[in-house]
Chains A and B, each alone.
Chain A
Amino acid sequence: MVQYEKYPPHDAPHSDVEDIKRNSQYLRGSLEETLKDPITGSIPEDDNRLMKHHGSYMQDDRDLRNERKKQKLEPAYQFMLRVRASGGIVTPAQWLMMDDISHKYGNNTIRLTTRQSFQLHGVLKWNLKNTIREVNDALLSTLAACGDVNRNVMCNTNPDQSAVHAQVYDWACKVSTHLDPRTRAYHEIWLDEEKVIDSRDGVEQEPIYGAVYLPRKFKIGIAVPPSNDVDVFSQDLGFIAIVENGLLQGFNVAVGGGMGMTHGDDKTYPQVSKVIGFITPEQMIDVAEKVVTIQRDYGDRAVRKHARFKYTIDDRGLDWLVAELHERLGWQLQKARPFQFDHNGDRYGWVKGVDGKWLLTLFIENGRIMDDGDYQLMTGLREIAKVHTGDFRLTPNQNLIIGGVTSAKKKTIEALIARYHLTDGLHYSALRRNSMACVALPTCGMAMAEAERYLPELMTKLENQLDAVGLRNEDIVIRMTGCPNGCARPALAELSFIGKAPGRYNMYLGGSFDGSRLNKMYKENINEDEILSTLQPIFGRYAAERNEGEHFGDFVIRAGYVDAVYDGRQFHA
């Protein structure tokens, strides 16, 4: 086997985060002590960097920041806790655990994320340990849900009843487990496992990551055509299932996607991944590991906003990447197989699976599970979880599938759905059903503008415009984020808004309905009035001039509003 450079030497240029990781003794840092400090609900920034690898990071209620400062109180520090489940599948018992801890330790809501994870918000420092322990007791984990490691592995949720879903999901879990950090720090800090003095270093303790982990987060997703619900082109590493005659043949491998960018820095951009070949299912773990190690060794450790895998590839070229990968694998990928995606959204309502069991996809606006006045979404789902014998599937579009429902149980579930007015969203506009927003204010420290709290309101105004031109039932993928880091994958939407300042957004047009093409900025830094006045004529023309079956994202390109962008390097052009 070919020997290669494991890590860059430490005297190479690197950011301060690299020092923090290197000095952390495999993600321990001083977390044990600072979590106990009773004078502050916060932890120091260095420990917060490490904390991310444990699945949590510190936030504060930004709505209260100024008020509390005047009151001589520190910010309302709280922790976001991300609970991951490969492919987003959990049992009813696990759902009930999440529901329980959100009330005991969180802010009485659960957030379903765009990566099929759960997020709890508002967990106080003093409650972190109990919360994480209960998560682990229910056989879920927060380890590596954030941080410079491989994140939750996404997987198609099988709304199209593919027979191969179970196999694909199984591979997703295997890849995920293989790429878990091996440090015992997590178990020592949160689960009270005995401290092990381990003098081994580097690859001995972390065979894949080494002592400094990755230069930046790393994301893997697995799609099963025709659904591109996982937005496979947004992933650092994507696998596209190739199914022939109902049998899983293997996966096309796609590399170098990623959403994040920085306003005003054209050297940063969202990127779609490129398909580089085909592998058999058994080769998946090997490929994933080797790709991760390439990024480990070549990713930029000096400038974090230039550290994602997409820049590593774009800087050195796709050919270099493939050659390096082949060298590390010791074998070559096969030629990519043909595939066809139709859409990247969810399909709502009941469908019958190939195994004879039913799946119900519920519309969850912006992924927020909560009771809100008469709309007892959280209570309804809890009641369902108490009787449900199948599973719950978190979709990549922040929705929820109640899966594995037997015909016998279907009536019971339907009765509960009706009783709690839960909805498949079919009475909503198609725009709303295809919407996503990140959390943003008040908890996210990076938000420059509202997202989750504002998009529903903006959408109502857009719906009025669409109603006026008869487009209410036209599927248009719309996404909003409070900052350009891209949690709701805005750069792939047909219509998107990225926060710039309170009440002001950049507006992007032209993503494709199947998530294969980036959009492009059409207007910069506009407020709601400008958003509405800009979109009204575009909606009008789309209604009048579109071709049969032409999607909005395709139309705005044909009509000349924006250029088509198939490579992130053209995103700012």
Chain B
Amino acid sequence: MELQVTNSPFTPEQAELLNRLLPTLTDTQRIWLSGYLTASIQTGGNTGTNAPVPAADTTVNVEAAPAVSKEVTVLFGSQTGNAQGLSKKLAQQLTSQGFDVTLSSMGDYKPNNLKKVQNLLVLVSTQGEGDPPDNAIPFYEFLHSKRAPQLADAKYAVLGLGDTSYEFFCQTAKDFDKRLEELGAERIVSRADCDVDFEEQATEWIDQVLSALGQAQSSATAAGAAAVSGTTDTTEAAAESPYSRTRPFPAEVLENLNLNGRGSSRETRHVELSLEGSGLQYEPGDSLGVYPENHPLLVDELIQAMDWDGNESIVINKNGDHLSVRDALLRHYEISVLTKPLLEKVAGLADHEQLYDLLEEGREQDLRNYMYGRDLLDLVQDYSLKGIPADEFLSLLRKMPSRLYSISSSMQAAPDEVHLTVRKVEYEQHGRQRYGVCSVHLAERLEAGDTLPVYIQHNENFKLPHDASTPIIMIGPGTGVAPFRAFMMEREETGAEGKSWLFFGDQRFATDFLYQTEWQRWLKDGILTRMDVAFSRDTDQKVYVQHRMMERSRELYEWIQEGAIVYVCGDEKNMANDVHLTLEKILVQEGNLSQEAAAEYMSNMLQQKRYQRDVY
């Protein structure tokens, strides 16, 4: 087959090169090349500046494309894996209804293909201050740039994932929705903005999309099946476990200790949980979802403030399940944050004039100021909500969301166990002691022998290279070091020979050097090649990991040139941004790149998964 722009994902230049090359290959060379390409795709792609679209999928699409098939492109932008999971589910349903599905991460998608798209389904989450997920950023920027093609012939729908307790709730989805409309595409289903408890709403949206896309095909095509078969081993293995986000596994606590030495202003819990009998599988880089309980003090004060009967039985869901008011507040509902939708519902229920006032248009800043750092107890006290019956009030609340923590262990090294590294959050605000729901639960009310509801959240965007000889650079101050402990355990267990370099930082060497003796052992045994540390409170000048990186800029650059993958985990607002700028600076300084070229280099690294971030 002669490759052309129209029947392949290649540019005219690429197609020409390949057309010249391919006929000259012997069978052995073809087999070798196919293996080489497949391997490099699995490692995150080191073969070029643009990560390849899963070539096999597209090729199959083209070759098998039956005239009757309706083509659908499903693009996802996922940070923690939820949007990815939903996209796979959607693709499977589409495929089973006979659609010809192209499923791709935005990070892997070649924007040039956009102009050929007939049906585009976008599922995307929103991070922090309304930002797209890391690996969706280049696609997001392309679509919002002048280079974006007109999409007058395309139909589309957008699903957003987010958290109503953040100001810029589902902002990225909103942006895509608006932009696609601007580019002339036709919206076939209204955008759905899902809160943390997304399943129900997302399922509804998928159903709407399926019916809007018209008549289903009678049978699945081979092409479609192939298109969605790109799932990894772990995902398949996880599918075998009966436990999931909606049905968490009650994991027994094996150990729960404080990693910070005496005199520290920090408290970081190291929690070891048993997964025995769960069938749950994970890889280093994955996260553990945890369902915590609210602080009993807060629950009891709330019950008292509302004059409720804690023992009163109430219905907590559509299935008619019952819990006492106290248990429901402890385990089933979220009471530690305020959201605009909640305030609206409460205002409606109580027909509350002052709350209506606060929610009025033009007072957004007042509303934000009020909600910031306040919880349900503040609300009921500040707005004298006593008198609302428990069952009515509780039905307005969000279900307790799970918390995701980067797993700090390797299943290879600790079979049937999963370890967490969680910093206790506790502070005083608005005249009252505030407790981080999950971290304080772990720190104060969880002992060995207790159980904790958990599930595995796979994260395809934070993975060790399959090629064990690939060097890795790990930047993880504070609890950001968690996945790197998992990396080291894994590499030790599998005998990986690639070089590794860890940057760690915290407040004080003497008390806050998390997992210190383990790093020392890994260094001694050569599992960890280098380690640099920055302790900000030990010296007059506050020294952070990015300063250490800068001090080692030459060597860091050399590692990157050798193909090292750079991993960053931890605080997003400050650290991850500073580290990003530092990496750019190092590229400028050591690689003699212009500012723009350095930014481009970083962007390419992101796309090629040579720069992976797990930031929060």
Q: Which of A36-44, A91-99, A289-297, A479-487 lines the interface with chain B?
A: A36-44
A325 at interface (Cβ–Cβ under 8 A)? no
Q: Does A124 contact B (CB under 8 A)?
A: yes
Least CB separation from B528: chain A residue: A39
> Smallest Cβ distance from B505 to chain A, in angstroms?
11
Query: How distant is the Cα of A74 from the Cα of B533 in the complex, in angstroms?
Result: 15
- Chain A residues lying within 8 Å of B260, measured Cβ to Cβ, are 71
Is A70's CB within 8 Å of the partner chain B? yes
Q: Are B520 and A73 in contact (CB under 8 A)?
A: no
* Cross-chain contact A39 with B533 (CB below 8 angstroms): yes
B511: chain A residues within 8 A (beta carbon): 73
In the assembled complex, B155 has its CB within 8 A of some CB on chain A = no
B519 CB–A CB distance under 8 Å: yes
Considering only CB atoms, which chain A residue lies closest to B262 in the complex? A64
Interface of A is mostly: loop
Contact of A39 among B259, B262, B514, B520 (CB under 8 A): B520
The answer to whether B519 touches A73 (Cβ under 8 A) is no
Cβ–Cβ < 8 Å partners of B519 in chain A:
39
A69 to B260: give the CA distance in the assembly, Å: 11
The answer on a CB contact under 8 Å between A72 and B259 is: yes
Which residues of chain B (229-267) have a CB below 8 Å from chain A? 257-262
Interface hub of A38, A39, A67 (most chain B Cβ within 10 A): A39
B518 within 8 A of A: yes
Closest to A42 in B: B520
Asked if B513 CB lies within 8 Å of chain A CBs, one says: yes
**Contact status A71-B258, CB under 8 Å:** yes
Q: Let me know if A428 is at the binding interface, CB within 8 A.
A: no
A124 to B511, CA, bound (A): 12
Q: Distance in Å from the Cβ of B459 to the closest Cβ of chain A?
A: 25
Interchain nearest-CB distance for B501 vs A (Å): 13
**Does A68 touch B at the CB level, under 8 Å?**
yes
CB of B245, distance to nearest CB on chain A (Å): 30
Given the complex, which residues of A lie within 8 Å of B531, measured CB to CB?
39
Among B261, B515, B538, contact of A64 (Cβ-Cβ < 8 Å): B261
Smallest Cβ-Cβ distance to B511: which chain A residue: A73
Report the bound CA distance from A158 to B258 in whole Å. Answer: 54
Indicate if A561 sits at the interface (CB-CB under 8 A).
no
- Give chain A nearest CB distance to B406 CB in angstroms: 17
- Which of B510, B514, B518, B538 has a CB less than 8 Å from the CB of A76? B510
In the bound assembly, the distance between CA atoms of A126 and B537 in angstroms comes to 13
From 35 to 92 in chain A, residues with beta carbon under 8 angstroms from any chain B beta carbon are: 38-41, 64, 67-74, 76
How far apart sit A41 and B510, CA to CA, in the bound complex (Å)? 8
Give B265-287 interface residues, CB cut-off 8 Å to A: 270
Whose C-beta in chain A lies nearest to the C-beta of B519?
A39
Report B-chain residues with C-beta under 8 Å of the C-beta of A76.
Answer: 261, 510
Residues of A near B509 (CB, < 8 A) are 38, 41, 124, 126
B420 to chain A: closest CB distance in Å?
14
Contact for A72 among B262, B517, B523, B533, CB less than 8 A: B517
B532 adjacent to chain A (CB < 8 Å):
yes
Which residues of A are found within 8 Å of B384, using beta-carbon distances? none
Partner of B516, one of A64, A70, A74, A124: A74
Q: How many Å lie between the Cα of A71 and that of B512 in the bound state?
A: 10
Q: Looking at the assembled complex, report how far the CB atom of B358 sits from the nearest CB atom of chain A, in whole angstroms.
A: 46
Q: Which residues of B contact A64 (CB under 8 A)?
A: 261-262
User: CB-CB contacts of B505-549 with A at 8 A, as 1s and 0s?
Assistant: 000011101111111100100000001110000100000000000
Query: CA–CA, A72 to B517, complex, Å?
Result: 5
Q: Provide the bound-state CA to CA distance between A39 and B515, in Å.
A: 11
Out of A40, A67, A71, name the residue touching B520 (CB < 8 Å): A40
Evaluate contact between A73 and B513: CB separation under 8 angstroms.
yes
User: What range describes how many residues of A lie at the interface?
Assistant: 10 to 19
Chain B: minimal CB distance from A1 (Å): 52
Cα distance, A71 to B509, chains bound together (Å): 14
- List chain A residues, Cβ under 8 A from B532: 38
Known interface pairs A39-B523, A40-B520, A73-B517. Does A124 touch B261 (Cβ–Cβ under 8 Å)? no
The residues of A that contact B520 with a CB separation of less than 8 Å are 39-40, 74
Give the Cβ gap from A134 to chain B, nearest Cβ, in Å: 16
Q: How far is the CA of A72 from the CA of B514 in the complex (A)?
A: 7
Q: What is the distance, in angstroms, from B248's C-beta to the closest C-beta of chain A?
A: 28
- Find B259's partner among A40, A41, A71, A126 (CB 8 Å cutoff): A71
Q: Are B261 and A72 touching (Cβ within 8 A)?
A: no
Q: Which residues of B contact A126 (CB under 8 A)?
A: 509, 538
Kindly name the residue among A40, A67, A73, A126 whose own CB sees the greatest number of chain B CB atoms within 10 A. A73
How far apart sit A76 and B264, CA to CA, in the bound complex (Å)? 13
What's the least CB distance linking B610 to chain A, in Å?
Answer: 27
Q: Are B257 and A71 in contact (CB under 8 A)?
A: yes
Given known A-B contacts A38-B533, A39-B533, A76-B510, A71 and B261 have beta carbons under 8 A apart: yes
Bound complex: CA of A72 vs CA of B513, how far in Å?
A: 9
- CB contacts under 8 Å to B, within A119-159, are 124, 126
CB of B270 within 8 A of CB of A72, answer: yes
**Residue of A at shortest CB range from B523?**
A39
B415-460 residues at the A interface, CB under 8 angstroms: none
- Measured in the bound complex, the distance between the Cα atoms of B261 and A40 in whole Å is 15
Contact A124 B510 (CB under 8 A): yes
Chain A residues within 8 Å of B538, by CB:
126
Q: How far is the CA of A335 from the CA of B163 in the complex (A)?
A: 96
Query: A74–B262 contact, CB under 8 A?
Result: no
Which among B257, B513, B515, B518 has the greatest number of chain A C-beta atoms within 10 A? B513
Chain A residues lying within 8 Å of B262, measured Cβ to Cβ, are 64, 67
When the two chains form their complex, are residues B510 and A72 in contact, meaning their CB atoms are under 8 A apart? no
Q: Which residues of A contact B514 (CB under 8 A)?
A: 72
The answer to whether A70 and B257 touch across the interface, beta carbons within 8 angstroms, is yes
The complex places the Cα of A38 from the Cα of B519 at a distance, in Å, of 12
Nearest Cβ on chain B to A213's Cβ, whole angstroms: 30
Q: How far is the CA of A69 from the CA of B518 in the complex (A)?
A: 11
- Give the residues in chain A near B533, CB-CB below 8 Å: 38-39
Q: Which residue of A lies closest to B270 (CB)?
A: A72
User: Which chain A positions have C-beta within 8 A of B516?
Assistant: 39, 72-74
In contact, A73 and B261 (Cβ under 8 angstroms):
yes
Mask of B469-506 contacts with A, CB within 8 angstroms, 1/0: 00000000000000000000000000000000000000
Min CB distance B198 to A, Å, is: 37
Report Cα–Cα, A38/B259, bound state, in Å: 19
Residues of chain B within 8 A of A71, CB atoms compared = 257-261
In the bound complex, residues from chain B placing their C-beta under 8 Å from that of A73 are: 259, 261, 511, 513, 516-517
Asked if B517 contacts A74 (CB within 8 A), the reply is: yes
Q: In angstroms, how far is the closest chain B Cβ from the Cβ of A125?
A: 9
Which residues of B are found within 8 Å of A69, using beta-carbon distances? 517
- How far apart are the CA atoms of A564 and B257 in the complex, in Å? 56
A442 to chain B, nearest CB (A): 12
Q: Which residues of chain A are within 8 angstroms of B261 by Cβ–Cβ distance?
A: 64, 67-68, 71, 73, 76
Interface residues, chain B, with chain A CB atoms under 8 Å away: 257-262, 270, 509-511, 513-520, 523, 531-533, 538
Query: Sorted from nearest, which 6 A-B pairs have the closest CB atoms?
Result: A72-B515, A73-B516, A72-B517, A38-B533, A73-B261, A74-B516
A sample of 17 inter-chain contacts (CB < 8 A) reads A38-B533, A39-B516, A39-B519, A39-B531, A71-B258, A71-B260, A72-B259, A72-B514, A72-B518, A73-B261, A73-B511, A73-B516, A73-B517, A74-B517, A76-B510, A124-B509, A126-B509
Interface on A for B, CB 8 Å cutoff? 38-41, 64, 67-74, 76, 124, 126
**Other than the known A73-B261, A73-B511, what 11 A-B pairs have Cβ atoms closer than 8 Å?**
A39-B523, A39-B531, A67-B261, A69-B517, A71-B258, A71-B260, A72-B259, A72-B270, A74-B516, A124-B510, A126-B538
